[in-house]
Amino acid sequence: MNRTIYAVIICLLVTLGFAQKPNVSVWIEDSETAPCYVDTLSSYNSDSSVAEVEFVAQANQWDVTRTALAGGSGPDVVITPGPSFVFELANAGLVLPLDSYTKDLGWDQDIVSWALSLGSVDGKLYSVPVELETMILYYNKTLFEQNGWTPPKTIEELMSLAQTIQEAGIIPFSGSNSEWRPANEWYASAFFNAVSGPQAVYEALSGSRAWTDETFVEAVSALDALQQNGWISGGLENYYTLTTDEYWNAFGSGEAAMVIEGSWAFASIGNYFGEAAGNSNDWDWVSFPSASGEDTFAIGVGSTYSINAASKVADAAADYLSYFFSPETQASLTTNCGFAPAPVRLTSDMLSSIDERRARLYETISKASDAGNYGYLTWTFWGPKSDVYIYEEIEKVWGGEITAEDYLSGLNDIASQELAANETPPLPTR
């Protein structure tokens, strides 16, 4: 049953005297961006003959939603914090399989295949992911031009450049984890994929390669070198104590040359450059360097969308999801509200009104993912226990308490247990 058929059904109901469109409830997080989100998506209600969407802002949206679902109620459209949370809902029978909608409504035409696969539990699709994320290398463009530096393409070039920058009296990288300890895994994600390569990471995640393999030792050792050389914010003491605002100010002012962080930083990076920050500097980005020098993006997602198994308007909810995940709607959310788009196929024309650097990223990621040229972010593809281990225990490597080999041995033990217990997220095939 496609969208046209849904519309025909609704028209028949109107003819029979049931003129009111069914309401589809969506609970969203009560945040500063919620009004923009609602305003942008309100066009569905004026354009659709199928349903009327009702947005309800909730403080602690996920906790409220999870409690409601367990009690047999909740919104028609279920939003979770990420793919791993869908497991518990699917296994408890609280969300609907979406496979028929994917086929009938053509979701597979708009949403990239690796993203759709994330929502599978026991061979059935239960969620569609939102908020495409990746790790990239931001650089102070003005500082680079003044010093004749070229953005690195390979890991070897990155390490050599960091040494050169330090010798020039400038901090190579700005960063910290004082306000978000899981920031540690940003670096782990970047180096696992860059040094070892996406294929090796895929093999380890799928259980055909041990995390103790020498290639991962090289990745952890390379990351450790950044800390031991004082390349991140001048040393571990600063890394553990600087605020987010402080390390971005250091980058914008030219005190530091580069930042290793996610695509989400586009939303705020402009605050630290140019007139807004009281300096004359500019910035740009490149894909995080790889062993081969190719543009390879470690990808992941934030939240997911599902349909409540208790919903009485599941077909109408599916129609709204078709609208929400269309490239045009995702482009509007990105343009109007600064949101990271869902992993859908976007073109430069759709993003023509936003900052060229941001539009370039989303278009480049789309092409790379379609070509299968992607890696894996820890917070999307690792099991929950492995993920916590990665960002907590890496501090022991940096502090000299354990070796890279010890760290990876512990990771291998936990990851193996999660894999055996089927507690790992679905893994897109290569």
What are the angstrom distances between the C-alpha of 55 and each of 61, 77, 348? 12, 10, 30
Q: For the chain, give me the number of helices (H) and strands (E)?
A: 21, 13
All residues at 6 or more sequence positions from 312 whose CB lies less than 8 Å from its CB, including other chains: none
What are the angstrom distances between the C-alpha of 352 and each of 3, 266, 286, 392? 29, 16, 20, 40
- Whether residue 259 contacts residue 185, with contact meaning beta carbons closer than 8 Å, is answered with no
Between CA 134 and CA 112 the distance in angstroms is 15
Between CA 142 and CA 145 the distance in angstroms is 5
- What local confidence, expressed as pLDDT, does residue 7 receive? 41
- What local confidence, expressed as pLDDT, does residue 11 receive? 41
3-class SS of residue 132: strand
- What local confidence, expressed as pLDDT, does residue 373 receive? 84
Between CA 210 and CA 227 the distance in angstroms is 25
- What local confidence, expressed as pLDDT, does residue 4 receive? 42
Length of the chain equals 430
Between CA 86 and CA 360 the distance in angstroms is 31
What is the residue whose two structure tokens read 């586009």? 266
Return the closest-CA partner of residue 49 out of 12, 21, 16: 21
User: Domain 133-296+374-420: which topology?
Assistant: D-Maltodextrin-Binding Protein; domain 2 (3.40.190)
What is the Cα 279 distance to its own chain's centre?
A: 30
Domains 3-126+301-359 and 133-296+374-420 share a fold: yes
- What local confidence, expressed as pLDDT, does residue 14 receive? 37
- What local confidence, expressed as pLDDT, does residue 32 receive? 83
CATH superfamily of the domain spanning 3-126+301-359: Periplasmic binding protein-like II (3.40.190.10)
Domain coordinates in residue numbering, the chain: 3-126+301-359, 133-296+374-420
- Digit-by-digit pLDDT tens for the chain (430 residues) are 444 444 433 343 333 334 589 999 999 999 888 999 999 999 999 999 999 999 999 998 999 999 999 999 999 999 998 887 888 899 899 999 999 999 899 898 889 888 888 888 888 999 999 988 999 999 999 999 999 999 999 999 999 999 999 999 999 999 999 998 999 999 999 999 999 999 999 999 999 999 999 999 999 999 999 999 999 999 999 999 999 999 999 999 999 999 999 998 988 899 999 999 999 999 999 999 998 888 889 988 888 999 999 999 999 999 999 999 999 999 999 888 888 889 888 877 888 888 899 888 888 887 787 778 889 999 889 988 999 999 999 999 999 999 999 999 999 999 999 999 988 888 877 7
